[in-house]
Chains A and B, each alone.
Chain A
Amino acid sequence: MEILLLLGAPFAGGIVLAFWGHRRFAPELNAGMSLLTFAAAAVLTARIIADGPILAWNENFFVDPFNVFLVALTAFVAFTTSLFSRPYMRIEAHTGRLTPNRMRLYHSMFQMFTFTMLLALLTNNVGILWVAMEAATLTTVLLVSLYRTPASLEAAWKYFILCSVGIAQALFGTILLYFAAEKLLGAGGTALLWTHLNEVKGELEPTVLGLAFVFLLVGYGTKIGLAPLHNWLPDAHAEGPTPISAVLSGLLLNVALYAVVRAKVLVEGALGTHLAGNLMMGFGLLSVVVAAFLLSRQKDMKRLFAYSSIEHMGLMTFAFGMGGALATFAGLLHMTVHSLTKSAIFFAVGHAAQKSGTQIMADIRGLIESNPTIGWGLMLGAMAILGMPPFGVFASEFMLLTAAMHQQPWATPFLLAALGVAFAAIFGKVQPMVFGTATANRLPHPPALIPVFVHLAIVLLLGLYIPPYLADWYRQAAALIG
């Protein structure tokens, strides 16, 4: 029932806003729909916490601790983003960068994107998961090119081509999975249901699953933004409207990683070796290092934080690849805090860019004077994302690094170097923007910075105190993933 509401709300929202998305009240409507979704997610979460995993609609939907916490996270971030996008998109329209039609497109697609995300998370069917992921690309690609500037077109084009090709590989992986599964589960629907696959994963054909995992990893890995498949990511983040950058970083990447982790569970079960984990560790480490070194070259601040997203997704992939209770726990926690922090940063960055009329960091100075809330939001957000305690990112990095020092000591020097370089790069670029003498103009609409500080507050809380139910929720999830 909640599931119906959960999926229905954004879908309906998408339809409705497709017609009214340009009206004056559209942003409020958008926020309202997201609120509804969030409420449904909350109810569902409560129920899962209360009485364990559920299967619904002849097993087509499956909710267990692992995905329900992502569902809650997704719904929450989508909601706060919709709050943020109210003034933001108003200002964009006010400055004439957007026509009513595009506002319509934006609002409707925003909801549709939420829908696809939730669908991908909730479905039990690996095939539907794929469909939803592809649909997510389709819904966002036109938003990336929303401004119709040459750069945005190029970004969108790259995003589209690379992700579609990648996702096609994922489809082939899915087919191979099905191919291996149908011998055990027989043809027809059940052979793609994750629960069933999970039960028989022991007997699945290793060679096929090995191949399948490669295709799945390359496919969904493109969406996660693992190096060297990451090239679409910075362009798309930098050129699209900021709310979209926020949800791309905060949600899409997580969901793609979710898909890979689901696959990893099956493959490891089938192969009995640690192949999948090793592959993930390799890609994770590579992404961390590559992203860290690219950070220092950035001039555009949204691009900068896009690369930081790559870095953090790399960390998570590394954590999940490493496996073990501690590392997986760290990975899950990092998923949460990263999407919260990163979206908060993008909110702050968005308003900063609007305020100073540019995304080029060299032209932005003294935010802390021109608008203390934006300035502090950006500074604290940057500190949080850089893993400065007492923010939650540090908590996860703490567990991750110590676990790595124990399980994979060879990797820690790379991580150390990468984190150091990333710190120098990001911090060295954020500090001048925040401090110094101001250069900024007024905004036609008051910025919405509540979301920023709400997110940062939650992240801070997670750094100092993880509520017990959240903790054993993570633990159950970690147990599932192994």
Chain B
Amino acid sequence: MNLPLYAQLINLFAALLLLLAFAMLTQRRILSLIRLFALQGFVLMLSTGVVAYSTHQSHLYYSVLLTLVLKVLLLPWILHRLIDALNVRWDVETLIDIPATMLIGIVLVIFAFNLAAPISEIAGTITRSTLGIATASILLSFLMMITRRKAVSQVIGFLAMENGLFFAATSATYGMPLVVELGIALDVLVGTFIFGVFFFHIRETFESLDIHHLEKLKEH
């Protein structure tokens, strides 16, 4: 089948997003995690732009702008500042070793595609196949949050999940209503700030950002 160009582009970006999600899942070093996160944001912005252009959804341009400012520039910058301030550049050790994580990830992707298939059937939008990818990247970043042991990388996982959601929103439904988008963006921003505050508190309390310090409250 031959889709129109922009549809192919969107699918390409979608594929890129998935790839990046995998890359983040396997990435050991925090710095490069942040770079990957920024890159993901960038791809997200591009895809949103294409969708906006192709479907003439004017309000999507705002979200393009939003993505650029927030996900490509602001958040990575904040994260950089954080790890500079806390100098936690060392490698991230994971709970499960990388290959196993990869395998689980692949299983998840298949699962997500199956999940999204029936929906994509009924999707009216040109970008039907992307929903599955969005779902997949959400699950993948979830998996990443589970497997990481450093607070920072967990946060990055969370943000990546937001990206996945955002992508789902734009590609599957041409974006949510603007007010909602703004609200979401605001929450993400505030959230990140608060995360930052936490890093400092945790650090000054435990001299490290390793979350195995945070395992005292338990039931046995």
Chain A residues engaging chain B, CB cutoff 8 angstroms: 125, 127-128, 130-131, 134-135, 138, 141-142, 145, 148, 150-151, 153-158, 160-161, 164-165, 168, 171-172, 174-176, 178-179, 182-183, 187-189, 191-192, 205, 207-208, 211, 234-235, 238-239, 294, 297
Contact = CB atoms under 8 A, between A and B. Distances in A.
Pairs of residues from A and B, 5 with the lowest C-beta to C-beta distance, nearest first: A127-B180, A131-B183, A154-B214, A134-B187, A235-B217
A160 B172 contact: no
B99 interface: no
17 contacts: A125-B180, A130-B184, A135-B187, A141-B194, A145-B198, A150-B206, A153-B198, A154-B214, A158-B217, A160-B198, A165-B161, A175-B168, A175-B172, A183-B124, A189-B177, A189-B179, A207-B118
Nearest to A181: B173
A179 B115 contact: no
A191 B162 CA distance: 22
Nearest to A188: B177
B169 A153 contact: no
Interface in B153-197: 154, 158, 161-162, 165, 168-169, 172-174, 176-177, 179-180, 183-184, 186-187, 190-191, 194-195, 197
A187 B184 CA distance: 18
How many B residues are at the interface, by size bracket? 35 or more
B180 A192 contact: yes
A279 to B, nearest CB: 17
A297 B206 contact: no
B158 A175 contact: no
Contacts of A294: 219
Main secondary structure of the interface of B (DSSP, over half): helix
B168 A142 contact: no
Contacts of A175: 165, 168-169, 172-173, 176
Main secondary structure of the interface of A (DSSP, over half): helix
B176 A178 contact: yes
B198 A138 contact: no
B211 interface: yes
B180 A131 contact: yes
Contacts of B187: 131, 134-135, 138
A164 B198 contact: no
B92 interface: no
A378 to B, nearest CB: 23
A147 B220 CA distance: 24
Contacts of B211: 157
Contacts of A160: 194-195, 198
Contacts of B201: 145, 148, 153
A138 B217 contact: no
A269 to B, nearest CB: 18
Contacts of A127: 176-177, 179-180, 183-184
A192 B190 contact: no
Contacts of B154: 161
Contact of B142 (A153, A156, A165): A165
B48 to A, nearest CB: 14
B201 to A, nearest CB: 6
